[in-house]
Structure 1
Amino acid sequence: MNNAIFINSLRFVLLVLTQVLIFNTLNFLGFINPLIYVIFFYWYPLKSNRAIFMLTSFFLGFIIDIFSDTLALHSIAALTVAYARPVIMRFCFGVNYEFQNFSFKNTTKVQRVTFLALLVLLHQVIFFSFEALSFSHFLLILKKVFATGIVTLVLCTLFSSLFSPQS
Structure 2
Amino acid sequence: MNSTITLNIIRFILLFALQILVFNNLELFNFINPLPYLLFILLFPINGNKALLILSSFILGLAVDVFDNSGGVHAAACVILAYYREDLLKFSYGISYEYHTIKITDKLSKELFTYLLIGVLLHHTILFGLEIFRFNFIWEILLRTILTSVFTLILCILIIYLIKPSKK
TM-score range, shorter chain: over 0.9
Q: What is the correspondence of 1:1-167 to structure 2 with a 5 Å cutoff? A: 2-98=2-98, 101-104=99-102, 109-165=109-165
Taking structure 1 as reference, are residues 46 and 130 closer, same or farther at Cα in structure 2, changes over 3 Å only?
A: same
**% identity of equivalent residues:** 36
Report the AA paired with residue 157 of structure 1.
Answer: I
Deviation (angstroms), 1:108: 6.5
Question: Which consecutive unaligned segments of at least 5 residues does structure 1 have?
Answer: none
Q: CA deviation at 1:165?
A: 4.4
- Inter-partner Cα distance in structure 2 for 1:84 and 1:166: 32
Q: How many residues matched?
A: 165
Offset of 1:3 from its aligned partner?
A: 1.0
Q: Which moved more, 1:154-163 or 1:83-92?
A: 154-163
Instruction: Give the letter aligned to residue 61 of structure 2.
Output: G
Give the structure with the higher percent helix.
1
CA contact (8 A) 2:24 2:68 kept: yes
| TM, length-normalised to structure 2 | 0.92
Secondary structure of 2:94's match? helix
How many Å separate the matches in 2 of 1:69 and 1:76?
14
- Name the amino acid aligned to 2:144: K
Taking the aligned partners of 2:45 and 2:102, their CA distance within structure 1 comes to 10
Q: Give 1:43 deviation, angstroms.
A: 1.4
> What is the root-mean-square deviation of aligned Cα atoms in Å?
1.7
Q: CA deviation at 1:162?
A: 2.0
Contact 2:54 2:79 in 1 (8 A): yes
Measure how far apart 1:90 and its partner are: 0.4
After TM superposition, the structure 1 stretch with the greater mean CA deviation from structure 2, 155-164 or 145-154, is 155-164
